Every structure is written in C-alpha cells, then in structure tokens.
C-alpha cells in the first residue's frame, strides 16, 4: 500500500458523491414537503 492521497485529491474524488448525496436529500425533502402541503388537513 502506498501513502495516503493528498487532501486535494481526496476532495476531488469524493466531491461528486457528496454533492449527489446533498442534492438527493434536498430533492426528497422538497418532494415530501410538497406532498405534505397538498394534503387537506382538517383540525
């Protein structure tokens, strides 16, 4: 095994995964929020 990757290279390798994870989380939250707001809530 070689030496660990430098920080910059590690960030470049993981950036697409991190942004995809955040984007998916925001998208699912927005979808759940819209579906919740469309429900008719009776008090």
Instruction: Kindly report, residue by residue over 10-37, the tens digit of the pLDDT.
Output: 999 999 999 999 999 999 999 999 999 9
Total structural domains in the chain?
1
pLDDT at 8 over 70: yes
User: How far is Cα 5 from Cα 29, in angstroms, rounded to an integer?
Assistant: 34
- Measured between alpha carbons, how far is 20 from 23 in angstroms, rounded to an integer? 5
Give yes or no for a contact between 5 and 13, defined as CB atoms under 8 angstroms apart: yes
Return the pLDDT at 40.
78
What pLDDT does residue 1 have?
Answer: 64
For residue 23, the model assigns a pLDDT of: 98
> Which range marks the domain in which residue 34 is found?
1-43
pLDDT higher at 36 or 2: 36
pLDDT band at 41 (very low <50, low <70, confident <90, very high): confident
């Amino acid at each position: 095994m070689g030496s660990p990757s430098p920080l910059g290279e590690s960030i470049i390798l993981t950036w697409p995964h991190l942004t995809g994870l955040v984007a998916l989380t925001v998208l699912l939250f927005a979808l759940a929020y819209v579906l919740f707001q469309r429900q008719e809530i009776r008090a």
